[in-house]
Structure 1
């Protein structure tokens, strides 16, 4: 593990693998770089991967709201890029990965695992987006009034690994409660595409192989997000991991690693 200042922020990261090609692995919100351990193990002979902790996560510095969270994390991730990098992102990490691909030509491949670009579904099937917003309203209301305990519990039910809140360890609960307010800072990025990822011609400009992985048991909106992206990205391939939910890299790391390995060769 390593620690340094990246894009002006104190960042910790883990190194995985001994393969010949560089990779960058970006974890979801409320997780940490260690979430990639088993997927990275399946790729260890093909890539040497860097997995940074997002601001306010893992061993990186506490988030101090110094800037837009998405911009800050994009700057941090960009600092790790080198020519020919395979970029792999999950959930909010996939949002960062997609932006990296759009802003940094020359990436070798892009893997997007359940990217939470809800704005893509809003453009494609508005009723699905509206149903998702309605489903999330209790979580949003709890967060708005500062009830972090309830907000974390509800968020875990929506986007967790399938375990009930009562099945998590006290440490896991406390970790999610501590970081849950960061979710509110990403709303404009995810729901309104504030960064313009969906602007005309942008997705169509991607020229690297793109792998879209989702779980069959994830939130219904994920299918529409993936379909919307696949319709516009020229070299996109979709994979659905049966029996998996949103946390598919953690619950089904063997399957996820195998699909990535098949793409990168």
Structure 2
């Protein structure tokens, strides 16, 4: 019997390598697909006017029907779009560190980060690293790898994708109730951007979703607590198979 396929979609400014700690824990049970989103890693740059639809349809070309789709941050929005518009591809949906229906204050905060990235990209990278890793037990090697990935971005392509991340939850919000795939929304208890409140909003909006808050963690759950992410993915797939 073939192994179920798990698709891992990364966050804005990152690439498939951010999934390595989590992928190591899933590889013995699942066939893994780890594409680079449009504008990231080995994929082509994201042009001006890029939308969530563009990112999702590009990712969809490598996703087989009935996959278990796991999205982190921007990748979570991509995964939700696919669950909504290409439901045949998404057997289960795991949203890790996902935003959802930002409040006006939360919207202004992310737009301010977008403005900083446009005016001082280096300062924006440093601010992201502090927001994601400050006070965590993640080793210097992984922080350095994340920094190198961020700094290697095509800056204009990064801006185009970050704009999607900053705005697309507003477009998704009214239709989230149409996502029928079994789902879980996982976030860090101390995540200042993709907050526990957002995961609870997402769980309340989707008809078949629960929220899972991981104590003592910030934004980069797949690096900081890969075991927790792998456990939630595996449990969701197992519950669905049992049902």
Aligned residue runs from structure 1 range 1-265, under 5 A: 20-61=3-44, 63=45, 65=47, 67-106=49-88, 107-117=90-100, 120-122=101-103, 126-127=104-105, 129=106, 133-134=108-109, 137=112, 139-145=113-119, 147-158=120-131, 160-162=132-134, 168-169=143-144, 172-179=146-153, 181-186=156-161, 189-193=164-168, 196-199=171-174, 202-219=175-192, 222-265=195-238
Q: Is the 8 A contact 2:38 2:59 kept in 1?
A: no
Return 5+ residue gaps in structure 2 as ranges. Answer: 239-243
Q: Which runs of 5+ in 1 are unaligned?
A: 1-17
**Residue in 2 that maps onto 1:14:** none
> Normalising by structure 2, what TM-score?
0.82
Shift of 1:197: 1.1
Quote how far apart the aligned CAs of 1:150 are. Answer: 1.4
Aligned equivalents of 1:71 and 1:93: distance in 2?
12
TM-score by length of 1: 0.76
Secondary structure in 2 matching 1:108: strand
Higher relative contact order (Cα pairs below 8 Å, separated by 6+ residues): 2
Distance 1:151 1:241 in 2: 26
Counting strand residues as a fraction of each chain, which structure ranks higher? 1
Which range moves more in the overlay, 79-88 or 210-219? Answer: 79-88
Distance in 2 (CA, whole Å) between partners of 1:89 and 1:36 is: 10
Match of 1:86, SS state, is strand
Choose between structure 1 and 2: higher helix proportion. 2
Report the alpha carbon displacement of residue 176 of structure 1 after superposing the two structures with TM: 1.7
How many residues matched? 231
SS in 1 for 2:13: coil
